[in-house]
């Protein structure tokens, strides 16, 4: 049985009791929510984040977003680079907050309206964040506004590795801390025309196959490469339409180890992924040549210490 399907039907009075037993491929779901910042309010937003981080240094993900099923939140500052490919009329230009949220089940009631849930539940808005935002939020999630789900991968050993490497749940560079692990998000354009069409078709086929329990069970355990890479979490969401791009999120232990393990691996997934990336991405070297750089600055990175 799919643990995400089970979780959506359980009584969630104890958030952690309905977590899946372990991570893996497509065990969890991911969402991206982009909230535009009002003109002239960027510094005020950064000050608010720094103050909140200082007051909640011992907090975890449930301190920032106390909603059942949330295991990870990274809050980025987007200065207009995320998802922008040069269209001067692109509404996603300008400063914004970008919420990356990992959840057990994005079909749960709370995540049918992600922006509303974030604004009603996060204590940041009680401190006046709403007054610093302006305009409509954009939700990047499967089935919303032409977005496709590609994959979401979690290392089954990330809880132990994170505890050993980081030792705490709240990472807040805006409060003066250095980020102890690489956390990033970037947007990579697909080649226009036939390449994008074929990629979209292939994603649809794979997602259809994942509906079968046997395929899903086999796929979720193919995590040897992410363990060798010291990867904790990675997600790919594809935006389709006139601007076909892949939004890629990564939480890892060591960027150098990631690339060394990726190119040393003989695992079919790693080699097939490289083959696809080189043929489908407009600028594959940006993704395949280290270091991989983020489009957005990390403001807050919080996890559940007990996440699988």
Domain containing 60 — which CATH number?
3.30.70.100
Tens digit of each residue's pLDDT (9 = 90 or more) over 54-69: 999 899 999 999 999 9
Question: Is residue 14 a part of any domain in this protein?
Answer: no
What is the per-residue pLDDT for 1?
36
Domain contains 37: yes
- Model confidence at 12, pLDDT cuts 50, 70, 90, reads very low
Q: What is the pLDDT of residues 70-99, one digit of tens each?
A: 999 999 999 876 765 444 445 556 899 999
Residue 223 lies in a domain: yes
Whether 16 maps to a domain, the answer reads no
Residue 168 covered by a domain: yes
Task: List the domain range (segments joined by +) for residue 95.
Answer: 3-8+22-303
Total number of domains constituting the chain? 1
Q: Closest by alpha carbon to 46, among 134, 168, 182, 173?
A: 173
pLDDT of amino acid 188? 86
pLDDT higher than threshold 70 for residue 151: yes
Cα separation of 123 and 52, whole Å?
A: 9
pTM: 0.87
Pairwise CA distance, residues 49 & 297, whole Å: 13
Whether residue 15 is contained in a domain is answered as no
Q: Using CA atoms, how far apart are residues 6 and 20, in angstroms rounded to an integer?
A: 9
Q: Is residue 279 part of a domain?
A: yes
Q: Is the residue at 308 inside a domain?
A: no
Sorted by sequence, the CB contacts under 8 Å of residue 173 that are 6+ apart come out as 179, 297, 298, 299
Does residue 170 have a pLDDT over 80? yes
């Amino acid at each position: 049985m799919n643990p995400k399907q089970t979780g959506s039907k359980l009584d969630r009075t104890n958030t952690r009791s309905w977590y899946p037993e372990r991570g893996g491929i497509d065990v969890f779901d991911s969402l991206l929510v982009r909230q535009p910042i009002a003109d002239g309010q960027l510094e005020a937003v950064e000050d608010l984040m720094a103050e909140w981080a200082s007051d909640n240094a011992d907090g975890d993900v449930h301190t920032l977003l106390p909603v059942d099923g949330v295991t990870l939140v990274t809050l980025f500052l987007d200065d207009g680079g995320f998802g922008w490919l040069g269209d001067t009329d692109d509404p996603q230009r300008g400063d914004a907050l970008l919420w990356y949220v990992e959840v057990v089940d994005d079909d749960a009631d709370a995540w049918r309206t992600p922006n509303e849930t974030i604004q009603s539940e996060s204590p940041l808005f009680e401190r006046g964040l709403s007054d610093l935002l302006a305009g409509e939020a954009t939700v990047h999630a499967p089935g919303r506004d032409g977005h496709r789900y590609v994959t979401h991968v979690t290392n089954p050993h990330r809880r132990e590795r994170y505890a050993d490497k980081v030792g705490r749940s709240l990472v807040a560079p805006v409060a003066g801390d250095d980020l102890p692990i690489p956390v990033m998000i970037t947007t990579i354009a697909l080649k226009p025309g036939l390449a994008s069409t074929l990629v979209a078709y292939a994603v649809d086929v794979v997602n259809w196959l994942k509906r079968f329990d046997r395929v899903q069970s086999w796929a979720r355990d193919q995590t040897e490469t992410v363990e060798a890479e010291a990867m904790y979490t990675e997600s790919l969401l594809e935006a389709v339409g006139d601007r076909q791009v892949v939004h890629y999120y990564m939480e890892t232990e060591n960027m150098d180890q990631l690339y060394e393990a990726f190119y040393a691996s003989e695992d079919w997934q790693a080699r097939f992924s490289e083959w696809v990336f080189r043929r489908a991405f407009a600028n594959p070297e940006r993704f395949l040549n280290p270091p991989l750089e983020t489009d957005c600055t990390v403001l807050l990175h919080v996890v559940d210490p007990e996440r699988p």
